Chains A and B, each alone.
Chain A
């Protein structure tokens, strides 16, 4: 199975600040079709997860350009700039390249 390792486990940020979350996979996430199926999700307290970024760097519909994804192969990063109160919650990376699909353990973003 592809193990997804997210760091840090938790992060404190001031409103208006910038943060980065790392996600590393134990195997390359490049699919045979050339696509890399690495996505980022935010789960706000008491809510279902929501898709932020898909295929490494593509923002989902309606997602602010304050969120950006980058990386390749086994090393990926989510950056959030100008952090707002609505950005708080737990962030997960997930891979859709290999079976079984797997998620990182999550990164909790809190206010400093």
Chain B
């Protein structure tokens, strides 16, 4: 059974940093691209980053480019999202998702709240 479990969220002040993790199981993690997708409260879905299966390519939404960094450790089956210079508009549920034609599996999400 495919499982994606995010962690690392919380309440932080504007300008702070946070690092999210997503531990994968039930599939060959090193063979698939992985994404981070977020959803602000009561809002729609916003794709924010993709990393190829071998970390050879990374893509970002303009809203996070230069502040967020996606990375992965295939030996630990873990995806990361390092978030710096956090803003109130980054407040959202953050999901990791596996890539295969579409986003075929999603984690349960982790909440990040940026507030003073």
Chain A residues engaging chain B, CB cutoff 8 angstroms: 37, 39, 41, 43, 48-51, 53-55, 58, 60, 92, 94, 96, 99-106
Most chain-A Cβ atoms within 10 A of its Cβ — which of B35, B47, B50?
B47
Known pairs A39-B101, A54-B101, A58-B101; A103 contacts B106 (CB<8 A): no
Contact between chains at B103 and A60 (CB < 8 Å): no
Q: How far is the CB of B33 from chain A (nearest CB, A)?
A: 10
Known pairs A100-B61, A101-B50; A49 contacts B103 (CB<8 A): yes
Which 7 pairs from chain A and chain B are nearest by CB? A39-B102, A54-B102, A101-B47, A54-B101, A48-B106, A103-B45, A100-B61
Q: List 30 A-B contacts (CB under 8 A).
A: A37-B102, A39-B101, A39-B103, A41-B102, A41-B103, A43-B45, A48-B95, A48-B108, A49-B95, A49-B103, A50-B106, A51-B103, A51-B104, A53-B102, A54-B101, A54-B102, A54-B104, A55-B102, A94-B47, A96-B101, A96-B102, A100-B60, A100-B61, A101-B35, A101-B47, A101-B50, A104-B44, A105-B44, A106-B44, A106-B45
C-alpha gap A99/B57 in the complex (Å): 12
Q: How far is the CB of B97 from chain A (nearest CB, A)?
A: 8
Known pairs A48-B109, A101-B35, A101-B50; A94 contacts B104 (CB<8 A): no
Chain B residues engaging chain A, CB cutoff 8 angstroms: 35, 44-47, 50, 59-62, 95, 99-109
B interface: dominant SS: strand
